Each structure stands twice: as C-alpha cells, then as structure tokens.
Amino acid sequence: MHGSLETLYFLLFDGFIWGLIIALIALGLSLIFGIMGIINMAHGDIFMIGGVLTVVLVARIGNLWPLLIIIPLIVGISALPVERWILRPYEGKPLTTMIATIGISFIIEEITLIFFGGAAHMVHEPTTFTVHLLGINYPGYNIIAGLVSMICILLLWSGLRLTKIGVYIRATIEEPEMADAIGINTGQIRSLTFAAGASLAAFGGVLAAPIHQVSYLMGQDVILFCFIVVIVGGLGNLMGTLVAAVFLSAVQEGLSLVFTPVNSNVIILLLMALILVIKPKGMFSS
C-alpha cells in the first residue's frame, strides 16, 4: 500500500510538470486560433521539431540550456514565411486552415523521418540531483522544467497585459476592424503572434526532450491533448488553459496507475464531454 501511494505521488508530480509544459504549447495554439482563426493541426509537429533539434544540437554542443533560446528563435523565424505565404490567404476559415495544416503536418513528419530516422531518442538530463518529496526522490530536472514553464507563462501573461504589443494583440483578437481603423498593423501582429505561438511549442519541445522520448511522431498525442486543454479551459483564456492543462495531465497520470494509456485517454475525453455539457464554452469562459 505504501509503495502504491509513493507511485501515485510520483505520477501526480509528473502530471503536474507535464501539464505546465502542455500549457505552454496549448497557449500558443490558443493564441494562433484567437487572432487568426487558424486551427493549426501542425502545432504538435512544431513541438516535435523543438525536441528533434534538441537531440541533434545537444549531441554537437553538449549543453541543453542555450537551446532554450536558440531553437525557439529558429522555429519562430522559420514560421513567418509559412504564415505569410501559405496560411494568410485562408485566415478566418478554420476548416480550410485545418486541412492546410494537416498537409503541413504530414510534410514535416516525412521530412523528419527521412533525416532523423524513425527510432526514438532521449536527451540526457542536464542535471543529476533529486529532490525528496513526500517520501519519493523526484528528478531535479523535472522540477526545473516546471519552474521554467511557469516563468515563461508568467512572462507571456505580463506581456499580453502590461505591454503595448500585448494591447495590440488583444485588440486584434477582440476588435480587428477597429484595430485596423486606429492604425494598428494587424498583418504584422498576426505574423508576430503566429511566430510566438510556434516558438512556445518549440520551447516546450526543448524542455520535454529529457523527459519524453523524441521521435518524428511525438507531436501526434500532444496536439490532441492540447486541443482538449484549450476547449476545456476556454478558448483564449490563459488562466483556464493553464489550470486545464495541469488538472487534466495530473488526472491522466493518476489514471495510468489503474488503467491502460488508451483507457486513460478515453476517460479524459469523457471528462471533457462532461465539462462541456456543464460549461459549453469551457470551465473559465465568461
């Protein structure tokens, strides 16, 4: 019994940390849909690119920490021409963008398979210490990853609420025609937001590389879970997305103690359906 309790604690800690990383990815997804009307089915593959680049570059430079800046910058800049030349003509047409980004997802996965291979890889944790919590020894890197995710989320919240560019983004989401009328360059704001969303997903991929096996298909499960998080938390609601990500991830990890992964996913989907019956616009919708 004691051992089972320790296992449950470990899984719940894992769920909490993974939920914070998922929140980063889901917030990027929510921002992109909120400002552009794009259902980005390739968002999980951007997360995968972050993980794959981490595997490749850590093998060359031997240090994970600089990649938390380098890889999101590379991915964010690379996302700009995709938004400008491929997705912009279809902005505001969710079904069309969903089809377009499914195509982009297939292309990204096949290119990654060709150059990276189909085998799963793992990045060694850059720290080796453990923290004793509730009778278990928990990996120190996981705690650092959770703290870094929380700081990143706090910075995002502060940027959206307290800076001029954040005001422009919120104005473009809520009143795009008025934003255009008062001189806000909404085209640039959309491009910047798409790049920021892609960078958040890549940032999550870098953080997850020492925790999660890295393969060309690792984005598929993540994108489904992120959509569930965004729907349950309330579209465009940062706090709702954060709470939903942590809560659902912890529940999923706890369920894995009793159920198979497939059954755990089914229960999460049923839980989402129940929440939407009670709150059709998500838990934190106004």
Q: What is the pLDDT of residue 285?
A: 64
Q: Which residues contact 156 (CB under 8 A, 6 or more apart)?
A: 27, 200, 238
Percent of the chain at pLDDT > 90 equals 54
Indicate the SS3 state at residue 121: strand
Higher pLDDT, 77 or 178: 77
| Residue 136 three-state SS | strand
Interval 239-254 mean pLDDT? 90
Share above pLDDT 70 across residues of the chain, in percent, rounded to a whole number = 98
What is the value of pTM for the model shown? 0.92
Handedness of CA 217, 218, 223, 228 (dihedral sign): positive
Dihedral (CA of 269, 231, 107, 149) sign: negative
Dihedral, CA of residue 142, residue 146, residue 149 and residue 153, to nearest 10: 170
Neighbours of 181 (CB within 10 A): 9
- Please tell me the distance from the alpha carbon of residue 223 to that of residue 98, in angstroms, as a whole number: 13
**Do 157 and 242 meet the contact criterion of CB atoms below 8 Å apart?**
no
Residue-wise pLDDT for 15-37, tens only, equals: 999 999 999 999 999 888 888 88
pLDDT in tens, 199-233: 999 999 999 999 999 999 999 989 999 999 998 88
Q: Specify the DSSP element, H or E, that contains 130.
A: strand 130-133
15, 149, 247, 249, 280 from 11: Cα distances, Å: 6, 18, 13, 10, 30
**Helices of type H across the chain:** 2-36, 43-61, 67-82, 94-116, 140-162, 164-174, 176-181, 186-208, 218-233, 238-255, 261-278
In sign, the C-alpha dihedral spanning 54, 55, 56, 58 is positive
* Lowest mean pLDDT, pick from 64-68, 96-100, 198-202: 96-100
Angle at 96 between CA 23 and CA 116, to 5 degrees: 55
Between 176 and 139, whose confidence is greater? 139
What residues contact 217, with CB distance under 8 A and at least 6 apart? 48, 109
In whole angstroms, give the CA distance from residue 281 to residue 286: 8
Q: Which residues, 6+ apart, have CB-to-CB distance to 26 below 8 Å?
A: 226, 229, 230, 233, 241, 244, 245
The three-class DSSP label of residue 29 is: helix
